[in-house]
Amino acid sequence: MTNEFDAALELHYRKEFVRAAAALQRCADAGHPQAAYVLANYYFVGAGVERDVETAHRLLMQSSEGGYAEATNFLGTLYENGEAVPCDPKK
């Protein structure tokens, strides 16, 4: 799966966001937490996919539960600021 993730990142760096999103989705579906994090960012801003903050939040949760610390940090910021999720400083 690392090879597919690396290929997805290469597409990302070449700004081929639609193709990168598809590859990241396959990786996220296979349980790759960093791929879920990157794909969540795509959904959060609408890069290569239609903007969908609910899907972004779900992917961030998946990534965080998979142990990816950056996703946990991002979720904390979203909860603290009430961005895309209801404000909940306890989370």
pLDDT at 3 over 70: yes
Tens-place pLDDT, residues 22-80: 999 999 999 999 999 999 999 999 999 999 989 999 999 999 999 999 999 999 888 88
Is the pLDDT higher at 2 or at 75? 75
Tens-place pLDDT, residues 19-29: 999 999 999 99
Q: What's residue 55's pLDDT? A: 94
Average pLDDT over residues 79-86: 72
Compute φ and ψ for 44, nearest 5 degrees.
-65, -35
* Angle, helix 2-13 to helix 33-45, in steps of 10 degrees: 30
